[in-house]
Chain A
Amino acid sequence: GDSVTQMEGPVTLSEEAFLTINCTYTATGYPSLFWYVQYPGEGLQLLLKATKADDKGSNKGFEATYRKETTSFHLEKGSVQVSDSAVYFCALDEIRDNRLAFGKGNQVVVIP
Chain B
Amino acid sequence: ETGVTQSPTHLIKTRGQQVTLRCSSQSGHNTVSWYQQALGQGPQFIFQYYREEENGRGNFPPRFSGLQFPNYSSELNVNALELDDSALYLCASSSGQANTEAFFGQGTRLTVV
Contact = CB atoms under 8 A, between A and B. Distances in A.
Nearest to A89: B42
B90 A44 contact: yes
B99 A103 contact: no
Nearest to A102: B42
B30 to A, nearest CB: 11
A104 interface: yes
Contacts of B31: 97-98
Contacts of B33: 98-100
Contacts of A98: 31, 33, 48, 92, 94, 100, 102
A98 to B, nearest CB: 4
A58 interface: no
Nearest to A41: B106
A51 interface: yes
A44 B43 contact: yes
B23 to A, nearest CB: 11
A51 to B, nearest CB: 6
Interface residues of B, number: 26
Interface residues of A, number: 24
A6 B43 CA distance: 13
A45 B92 contact: no
A100 B43 contact: yes
B106 A42 contact: yes
A88 B45 CA distance: 17
A43 interface: yes
Contacts of B44: 102
7 contacts: A43-B104, A89-B42, A96-B98, A97-B55, A99-B45, A100-B33, A100-B102
Interface of B: 4, 31, 33, 35, 40-45, 48, 55-56, 90, 92, 94, 96, 98-102, 104-107
Given A98-B100, A100-B102, 9 more contacts: A6-B42, A46-B101, A46-B102, A89-B42, A98-B92, A98-B94, A99-B56, A100-B35, A105-B40
Instruction: State the 6 A-B residue pairs at the shortest beta-carbon distance, nearest first.
Output: A102-B42, A43-B104, A98-B102, A44-B104, A43-B106, A98-B94
